[in-house]
Amino acid sequence: MSGPTSRLRMLAVAAGLFGLAALVPRPAAAQGSVVIYCGVDEAWCRAMATTFEKQTGIHTDMTRQSAGEIYARLRAEKDNPRGDIWWGGTGDPHLQAAEENLTQDYKSPQLGQLRDWAQRQAERAKFRTVGIYLGALGFGYNKEDLARRKLAAPACWADLIKPEFKGEVQMADPNSSGTAWTMLATIVQLMGEEPAFAYLKRLNANINEYTKAGAAPAQSTGKGESLIGIAFQHDLIDVAKRNFPVQVVSPCEGTGYEIGSMSLIRGARHPEEARKFYEWALTPEAQKLGALNRSYQIPSNTATPVPPEAPDLSRIKLIEYDFATYGSSATRTRLLGRWTSEVKNAPR
């Protein structure tokens, strides 16, 4: 047998051995494991998973996806759930999942320590979910770009449909992003459905792209790929904190907000560990990890310090967001269908 052939064989054997090593089931931690579907920023997700693993010895298996994707996943897997707990992401899909009985009801002993909006979120879902943070909607503009164009700074939702912003506004697609769905629901609640769709149609002329992820418009605005981006204020603040010229705006008409939530998945394979994670995630110690990882939402436990970077709720006009109506499947399906056919697919 010639030299190269035997070397080739060695190569194949080495590859095979390496492969076999990987096929052998990974050692399961003695403390069990928990599969987390995480709906917030990657860094925060990772910090939550690793800190929990460090403190409890429970092996964590974390997947980060947008809230809409996780909801879709839960539905796809409902006959055979793979995840144990769904942590984070905007509250509406959590409410929808609760309504469709995809998640498990559970009353935490810590419920009393939570801010009232977090408790109300739990009540709405018959305790199938619970609020873990609050984030206000808004938009941001690129200061440098605006100065260069010598345009007046937008301050209200109404400013965004001005003709000078044609092709300059970016938002996510509400079909895939919880952020954009919150914006759609906010506009409908602020203006009433018919005027809201008239507004959205005019806004459509100014939109340069409907992105998939909710935080993408904030990033684009920071990089100057878009002049204005509609997003949650904490996402915009995060971009601004990284030295991008972004000014965060809280719209003058008032704005909606999300209640980031957490749900136990029904039929989970590791219900015990999931509950442990649930309890741990409500503690101030765990909630502090948000600000440490540049996520500046308002945490739900009253004992958790509010990060100084978080939007000051006293200076924001929050609307009375009707989560019961706008978190229900029926309303959501109807409004999304209408938005897709009348706004997104409309002529430009």
Partner 1 sequence: MMRVWLGLAWAGLVVLPWYGLEAPLRAISALQPEALPALWQGRVWLWPLAIPLLMAIPGRPRLLALSGALGLAWLCIEGLAIGHRGWGAPWLGALFGAPGPTQPALGWGAAVYALSCVMLAAIGLARQGWCRGDVFVLGSLLLVVGLIVLFVGFPVVSILTSAVRDNAGGFAPDLFAEKLFNSSIWGLDCLVGTHACGVAWNTLAQATLVGVLATLLGLAFALAALRTNLPLKPLLRLLSLLPVITPPFVIGLALILLFGRAGVVTNFLALHFDIPRSRWIYGMPGITIAQLLAFTPIAFLVLVGVLGAVSPSLEEAAQTLRAGRWHTFRTVTWPLIRPGLANAFLISFIESLADFANPLVIGGNFNVLSTDIFFAVVGAAHDQGRAAVLALVLLAFTLTAFMAQRAWTGSRSYTTVTGKGDAGLSAPLPGPLRAACYATVLPWLVLTVAVYGIIMAGGFVVTFGRDNTPTLDYLWTAFSIERGVGGWFLSGSGWRSFITTMELALIATPVTAALGLLTAYLLNRQNFMGKGAFEFLAMMSFAIPGTVIGISYILAFNVPPVELTGTGLIIVISFVFRNMPVGIRAGIASLSQVDRSLDEASQTLGARSFRTLRLVIVPILRPAIVTAMVYSFVRAMTTVSAVIFLVSGEYNLATVYIVGRADVGEYGVALVYSAVLIVVMAAVLAGISAVVGRQKIGRRGMLAADQPVVVQA
Residue ranges in 303-332 that form contacts with partner 1 under rule CB under 8 A:
332
CA 273 to each of CA 83, 291, 297: distance values in angstroms, whole numbers, following the listed order: 12, 25, 26
Is residue 342 within the footprint of partner 1 (CB under 8 A)? no
Residues 93-152 that bind partner 1 (CB under 8 A): 93
Residues within window 35-54 making contact with partner 1, judged by CB under 8 A: 35-36, 41-43, 46
Site for partner 1 in 253-272 (CB under 8 A): none
Q: Which of 1, 30, 152, 330 contacts partner 1 by CB under 8 A? A: 1
Binder among 173, 263, 281, 304 for partner 1 (CB under 8 A):
173
- Indicate which single residue of 29, 31, 55, 75 sits in contact with partner 1 (rule: CB under 8 A): 75
User: What residues numbered 187-246 form the site for partner 1, per CB under 8 A?
Assistant: 208-210, 212-213, 215-216, 218-220, 222-226, 243-244
Please, what is the minimum distance in Å from the beta carbon of residue 22 to partner 1?
A: 4
Binding residues among 16-35 for partner 1 as defined by CB under 8 A: 16, 18-20, 22-23, 25-26, 28, 35
Diameter over CA atoms, the chain: 82
Written as one string, the DSSP assignment of 251-310 is -TT-B-EEEEEEEEETT-S-HHHHHHHHHHHHSHHHHTHHHHTT--PEESBTTSPPPTTS
Among 61, 99, 100, 322, binds partner 1 (CB under 8 A): 61
Contact yes or no for 221/212 (Cβ under 8 A)? no
Residue 56 binding partner 1, by CB under 8 A = no
Angle between the 271-282 and 42-56 helix axes, to the nearest 10 degrees? 110
Of 147, 102, 143, 148, nearest to 125 (Cα)?
102
Q: Which of 40, 48, 58, 62 binds partner 1 (CB under 8 A)?
A: 62
* E strand spans, the chain: 33-38, 59-64, 85-87, 103-104, 130-142, 169-172, 207-211, 228-232, 246-249, 257-265, 298-299
**Of 39, 48, 58, 64, which lies in the binding site for partner 1, with binding defined by CB under 8 A?**
64
Residue 290 within binding range of partner 1, rule CB under 8 A: no
Nearer residue to partner 1 within complex by CB, 315 or 348 = 348
CB 233 within 8 A of CB 255: no
Nearest to partner 1 of 62, 118 (CB atom): 62
Nearest to 140 by CA among 241, 67, 59: 241
Task: List 207's β-bridge partners, or say none.
Answer: 169
**# chain residues binding partner 1, by CB under 8 A:** 71
| Shorter beta-carbon distance to partner 1: residue 83 or 311 | 83
